[in-house]
Amino acid sequence: MTPSSFPVIRLKPKANARAIRHGAPWVYDNEIVTDRRTKNIAAGTIAILEDADRAPLALVAVNPNSRIFARVLERDTGAVIDRAWLATRLEHALALRERLFDTPFYRLVHAEADGLPGVVIDRFGDAAVIQPNAAWADVMIDDLAQALADVTGVTTILKNASGRARTLEGLDEDAAILLGAAPEAPVQVPMNGATYMADLTGGQKTGLFFDQRPNHAFAARLAQGARVLDVFSHVGGFALACLAGGAQSALAVDGSDPALQLARAGAQAGGVAERLDTRRGDAFDVLSALGDEGAQFDVVICDPPAFAPSKQALDAGLRAYERVARLAAPLVAPGGYLGLCSCSHAADLGKFRTACTRGIGRAGRAGQIIHTGFAGADHPLMPQLAESGYLKALFYRL
């Protein structure tokens, strides 16, 4: 679309136009002057956002079906949003990842923080998986896929349409093959000396979580010669990293049998299969059972799903994090290490730390925090958007 063809939407007089000028990426539905025209703008349409005095602020992607009514795409309201514009954003994102990593396995685009609101792209060598979690990206998915292929040279591009974010945007769950053919087998992903198996079509999200890479590496340093317990392990995230780092043994616990199968396949590919055990079951039940058995580990790590995905779920989520800490702490041998993680953006670091420390105390243990970790640099933080800094990892010595 050319700038002259963009519809116009306007902020209410009391809306914070200064925040948009200073880089805030979202405009909520209660900040927009809404009438029949604006409510009937098709989801994914690009529009010019004006302040209450009709001064242009930015080009935005509109979705009247979402609480986030508009997402800022471009400060220059004269810009053309097309395949070339997408390619420029992708080139900028790629330059950072190529500086950070020697192999093409990383998060290539981290949504707003990389200037592509709502878009997540994970790269797996010659394949890439796009999660278009905003309506505008769905509308431009063909241009996005072609720009991605042109910039990176990937030969397979998949669209993953699952997840809570698309539901909140009122989008469908229709996955698609955008380029090439879907891999017939899991993709081997080298990371921190371990080998992970990523199921790009049937796995969680895009198939693998790259965000924990630096925290896996830290845990591996603690785990040399250690007995390791990895709870909520998915495809063996911490367990495989610790085994690659010299752990004596690792037990991976998860509720998904397919995920544990991938963990075992990764251990086999990495030559550490004889030191990995797996246990399928509800994590809380397994933690309780291990406590009843008197089991002890030198390193225990719990990396649960988002217990507090929204502000409404915060209190219940914090109680769940406290419970994890309370059940996990007794399993740590004296002088051992406990790693506790949260991917809930609604639970900030202070609240999460308080919940974990309270749980450890309720278990009759005491400890010192030796490390606080976050997502890797391929998951950059947008300073104006707290949600982009969702991941926290606390490591205690008990």
User: Tell me, what's the pLDDT at 202?
Assistant: 82
Q: Is the pLDDT of residue 1 over 60?
A: no
| DSSP one-letter string for 47-85 | EEEE-TTS-EEEEEEE-TTSSEEEEEEES-TT---SHHH
- State whether 254 and 369 are in the same domain: yes
pLDDT of residue 164: 84
Looking at residue 97, which CATH number applies to its domain? 3.30.750.80
Bridge partners of 231? 253, 302
User: What is d(CA 61, CA 196) in angstroms, rounded to the nearest whole number?
Assistant: 36
Q: Does 236 score more than 80 pLDDT?
A: yes
**Last residue within a domain, chosen from 74, 106, 133:** 74
Is residue 201 domain-shared with residue 169, that is, in the same domain?
no
Q: In what order do the strands lie in the sheet with 127-132?
A: 105-110, 119-124, 127-132, 156-159, 176-179
Which residue would you say has higher pLDDT here, 368 or 204? Answer: 368
Last residue of a domain, one of 127, 159, 179: 179
Residues 266-279 have a mean pLDDT of 98
pLDDT of residue 241: 98
- Is the pLDDT assigned to residue 389 strictly greater than 90? no
Q: How many domains does the chain have?
A: 3
Average confidence (pLDDT) over 352-356: 97
Quote the pLDDT of residue 206.
79
* pLDDT (0 to 100) of residue 310: 86
Q: Same domain, yes or no, for 108 and 204?
A: no
**Which pLDDT band, with edges at 50, 70 and 90, does 56 fall under?**
very high
Q: Has residue 3 got a pLDDT over 60?
A: no
Mean pLDDT of 124-143: 96
- What whole-number distance in Å separates Cα of residue 329 and Cα of residue 301? 10
| pLDDT computed for residue 128 by the predictor | 97
pLDDT at 4: 60
372 and 234 co-located in one domain:
yes
Residues 45 and 117 in one domain: no
Q: What percent of the chain has pLDDT over 90?
A: 89
In this structure, the answer to whether residues 48 and 96 fall within a common structural domain is no
DSSP string, 228-260: EEEES-TTTHHHHHHHHTT-SEEEEEES-HHHH
For position 387, what pLDDT does the model report? 80
- Which pLDDT value is given to residue 311? 87
Q: Are residues 154 and 252 in the same domain?
A: no
- pLDDT band, residue 309 (cuts 50/70/90): confident
Q: What would the pLDDT profile of 88-125 be if each residue is shown by its tens digit?
A: 999 999 999 999 999 999 999 999 999 999 999 999 99
Residues 170 and 192 in one domain: no
- Mean confidence (pLDDT) of the chain: 95
Burial (CB < 10 A; 0-12, 13-18, 19+), residue 350, is exposed
Same domain, 287 and 379: yes
pLDDT-based confidence at residue 369 (cuts at 50, 70, 90): very high
- Tell whether 175 and 198 lie within a shared domain: no
Residue 94 belongs to domain spanning: 83-179
Q: In the listed set 179, 206, 228, which residue is the last one of a domain according to the structure?
A: 179
The dihedral over CA atoms of 11, 17, 21, 26, expressed in degrees to the nearest 10, equals -60
In angstroms, what CA-CA distances link 233 with 72, 128, 206, 361, 393?
A: 36, 23, 16, 24, 14
CATH, residue 15: 2.30.130.10
Distance CA 311, CA 57 (A): 29
Sheet strands (E) in the chain: 8-10, 26-28, 46-50, 56-62, 68-74, 105-110, 119-124, 127-132, 156-159, 176-179, 187-191, 194-198, 227-231, 249-254, 276-280, 297-302, 332-342, 368-373, 392-397
Q: Are residues 54 and 143 in the same domain?
A: no
Q: Are residues 238 and 143 in the same domain?
A: no
Residue 316: its pLDDT value, please?
95
- 2 pLDDT higher than 70: no
- pLDDT score of 289: 98
For the annotated catalytic residues, the residue numbers are: 343
Q: For the sheet with 249-254, list strands across it.
A: 276-280, 249-254, 227-231, 297-302, 332-342, 392-397, 368-373
Q: In the predicted model, what is the mean pLDDT of residues 10-22?
A: 93
Please give the Cα distance from 342 to 230 (Å, whole number): 14
What is the rounded average pLDDT of the residues 247-273? Answer: 97
Domain at 305, CATH number: 3.40.50.150
For the entire predicted model, the pTM comes to 0.94
